[in-house]
Amino acid sequence: MAPTLDHPGEQAAQDPIRLLEIRETPLSVDEIFRAVGDDAAGGTALFVGTVRNHDGGQDVGALGYSCHPTAQDEMRRVAEKVAAEFPVRALAAVHRVGELKVGDLAVVVAVSCPHRAEAFAACRKLIDDLKHEVPIWKHQRFSDGTEEWVGAC
């Protein structure tokens, strides 16, 4: 049975963007999850990006993120686009900058929607678009002394 959209909870919230930040401090999955809580949401999808100990067959020894001064504005633009495309009840995204260690949380995004399929799709679009459109750069330093910069996110 297809949703009829007769109930206000089936539609997007008036202002679904609950939390958008770029921080130098550790991230909290619980904080992001709480930020997207909504009684009209039947599905919540959450993505957590962590610093791994390898990339491209090389051991990662150190890693840092930096961002352009416009990154916060670009993050908002991406979030607004996702909220306009899906019936988002609540959305949150936080990205870390500075020096991180293996296992640290680099980015946490979450979306709640009336149904799970919408939540999964919106969350996927949010993280993919943040990665490709927000000017956040990763500087990886490998254990063999080489290093590389990786574009947005």
For the chain (153 residues), the mean pLDDT of every run of 10, in chain order, is 58 86 98 97 97 94 95 98 97 98 97 98 98 96 94 58
User: How much is the pLDDT for 119?
Assistant: 98
In this structure, what DSSP letter does residue 69 have?
T
The reported pLDDT for the residue numbered 62 is 87
| Residue 1: predicted pLDDT | 37
Q: Per DSSP, what are the bridge partners of residue 50?
A: 105
Q: What confidence score (pLDDT) does residue 151 get? A: 78
Distances (CA, A) of 47 to 12, 16, 26, 28, 44: 20, 18, 16, 12, 10
Q: Which pLDDT score, from 0 to 100, does residue 13 have?
A: 67
Contact between residue 134 and residue 71 where contact means Cβ atoms under 8 Å apart = yes
Output the pTM of the full model: 0.90
Predicted pLDDT at 82: 98
pLDDT of residue 70: 97
Q: Which of 68, 80, 65, 88 is nearest to 129 (CA)?
A: 80
